[in-house]
Homo-oligomer: A and B are copies of this chain.
Amino acid sequence: MPPFGLLHRRAWASLFGQLLRPSGLVCIGEVHFHSQGQMSLQVSEAVLISQLKPHQEKSNFVIKTPKGTRDLSPQQMVVREKILDMVIDCFKRHGAKRLDTPAFELKEMLTEKYGEDSGLIYDLKDQGGELLSLRYDLTVPFARYLAMNKVKRMKRYQVGKVWRRESPTIVQGRYREFCQCDFDIAGQFDPMIPDAECLKIMCEVLSGLQLGDFLIKVNDRRILDGILAVCAVPQSKFHAICSSIDKLDKIPWKDVRHEMVAKKGLAPEVADRIGDYVQRHGGVSLVEEMFQDSRLSQNKQALEGLGDLRLLFEYLTLFGIAEKISFDLSLARGLDYYTGVIYEAVLLQTPAQAEECLNVGSVAAGGRYDGLVGVFDPKGHTVPCVGLSIGVERIFAILEERMKTAGLKIRTTETQVFVATPQKNFLHERLKLISELWDAGIKAELLYKNNPKLLTQLHYCEHMGIPLVVIIGEQELKEGVIKLRSVASREEVAIKRENLVAEIQKKLSES
């Protein structure tokens, strides 16, 4: 039975907070109102309640991150950083400069850029001054930057968080706050050369991250518009019909057709004509076939799109990636600003692998948006742009799952040397010693205790994966030496105090 009402989390907490206070737990979930006036609860989450200052009679609150957001633990940050390093390396390999823009923009900058999705934009509260919204992607801020600074040509990358008020289905790796890595080429150039480079970059990133086999679906907005026009779809319905077509990767054609006819009022024969086109996908031969299509070849827009795709495939072949690309007539892409070629990379399900339960959807996407900069420019001068965005969260979900399955232990620190002592009252010596190591650029730690046990110190090294231990005691101090111990082999060597840094650096470079 579907829920009739979803009780607001905060209301929920205040309703049931008192009841559950003794345990410190409160349950979050859906309230179902049944037809007989009964009510049932479906608990989806149990969280801890805290009181800010008990004596002040503050209202209870739940300690959590906002809905659809999360903290990244040190383990997760290691995986995340590896992905970002890989992606940024690739962007730099293709000559891109880095840009940064604020987390929020003037609200007006984002208006009318995202079509139906505009309702998902986070607005800031009007606290006096300008009306602001959190950025929804990195593309619109980039176009705003180009127009504002009158930049006519730029190859840039940007890595940052964006925010969308979507219903979070967290199992699929969809969040309300997520990280995007964008690469874009702005400028007037000969056709399809930058576009081909964008697809090459997507291939390099996805291959580099070893995510398994993938496919990049390619289409062109002008071909899609041409199809709708030659199928006699009224102009006013283009948008609605496009969004139905875009669902073809998730639901079968008969359901899409039903939606078009029953919900969107399309004549059945028009829907069937569309179906003949949008169910097709293939390689460059399909482009040639479409050129020969008696109806489509009458449409100027579609012909332009097909001509560009033909050229694109030529370049993709030279790049050695044509077999990764599928011309897919159902690809529509939601965002309003695309004007030409569009693309989306999907991972191919390999049932043998553990991540089959993870339906991650597209992991990278992009396209050409030749009109967006002109919208911001006072005189309407535009700068043609093409770009791509890597969906870090989804890639992260796959790699994290894979690591869990493999049971890999991740080191979250890079400490190279631990400073230990077997003796009491040796804090001063340890502090002097570790200070020397830090000043020499060596990554070093000690325990923040006056008199730690040696065993505790050695256990810490094993637990944290620290490879070397420097041990100083009464005897060593007298002889002017230091013991250097390898944690893995448990071998110890005595070295002269003055050679300590050099010996450690030698050991570290050997391993």
Q: Does A438 contact B (CB under 8 A)?
A: yes
| Chain B residues in 8 Å Cβ range of A127 | 122-123, 165
Instruction: Write the A366-389 contact mask toward B (1 if CB under 8 angstroms, else 0).
Output: 000000000111111000000000
Q: How far is the CB of A340 from chain B (nearest CB, A)?
A: 15
Shortest Cβ distance from residue A148 to the other chain B in the assembled complex, whole angstroms = 5
- Which residues, 300 to 346 on A, are CB-close (under 8 Å) to B? 315, 318-320
A358 shortest CB reach to chain B, Å = 22
A269 at the interface (CB under 8 A from B): no
- Say yes or no: B123 contacts A122, CB within 8 Å: no
Taking the closest CB of chain B, its distance from the CB of A371, in whole angstroms, is: 10
B71, B97, B129, B427: the one within 8 Å of A100 (CB): B71
Which chain B residue lies CB-closest to A151? Answer: B73
CB pair A50 B376 closer than 8 Å: yes
Q: How far is the CA of A262 from the CA of B147 in the complex (A)?
A: 52
In the complex, what residues of B have CB within 8 A of residue A109's CB?
A: 61, 63
> Do B435 and A320 touch across chains, with their CB atoms under 8 A apart?
yes
Of chain B, the residue at the smallest CB distance from A433 is B318
CB neighbours (8 Å) of A193 from chain B are 427, 431, 448-449
Known: A318-B428, A380-B54. A66 touches B190 (CB 8 A): no
Contact present for A108 and B71 (CB under 8 Å): no
Also in contact, A66 and B104, with CB within 8 A (given A111-B52, A125-B123, A413-B97): yes
Complex copy number for this chain: 2
Q: A448 touching B190 by the CB < 8 A rule?
A: yes
Residue pair B52, A73 in contact (C-beta under 8 Å): no
Partner of A97, one of B8, B74, B126: B74
Structural contact, A98 and B81, CB atoms closer than 8 A? yes
Q: Is A65 part of the binding interface, using a Cβ–Cβ cutoff of 8 Å?
A: yes
Contact of A442 among B9, B93, B189, B375 (CB under 8 A): B93
Chain B residues within 8 Å of A400, by CB: none
Of residues 1 through 48 on chain A, the ones whose CB sits less than 8 Å from some CB of chain B are 8-10, 24, 48
Quick one: CB contact mask for A434-450 with B, threshold 8 Å, 1 for yes? 01001101111100111
Are A414 and B92 in contact, with the CB atoms below 8 A?
A: yes
* A70 CB contact (under 8 Å) in B102, B190, B315: B102
Q: Is A454 engaged at the interface, CB distance under 8 Å to the other chain?
A: no
Q: Are B61 and A108 in contact (CB under 8 A)?
A: yes
A94 x B52 contact (CB < 8 A): no
| Cβ–Cβ < 8 Å partners of A100 in chain B | 71-72, 76-77, 80
* Chain B residues whose CB sits within 8 angstroms of the CB of A156 once the complex forms: 74
Give the docked Cα–Cα distance between A148 and B70 (Å): 12
A132 to B66, Cβ gap below 8 A?
yes
Residue of B nearest to A193 (CB): B448
Task: Determine whether A96 belongs to the interface, using a CB cutoff of 8 Å to chain B.
Answer: yes
Q: Who on chain B is nearest to A77 by CB? A: B98
Interface pair B129/A412, CB less than 8 Å apart: no
Give the docked Cα–Cα distance between A153 and B148 (Å).
47
Residue among A9, A80, A94, A102 facing the most chain B CB atoms (10 A cut-off): A102
Known: A377-B50, A441-B93. A449 touches B190 (CB 8 A): yes
Q: Which residues does chain B contribute within 8 Å of A51, judged by CB atoms?
A: 378
Does A246 belong to the interface (CB within 8 Å)?
Answer: no
Do residues B53 and A71 form an inter-chain contact, with CB atoms below 8 A?
no
Determine if B102 and A74 form an interchain contact, defined as CB atoms under 8 angstroms apart. no
Partner of A106, one of B64, B72, B112: B64
Judge whether B428 and A194 touch: CB under 8 Å: no
18 A/B residue pairs, CB under 8 Å, sorted by A: A9-B129, A53-B112, A62-B106, A63-B109, A63-B376, A65-B101, A66-B102, A69-B104, A71-B99, A71-B101, A74-B99, A95-B415, A95-B445, A102-B177, A124-B125, A190-B448, A319-B435, A320-B439
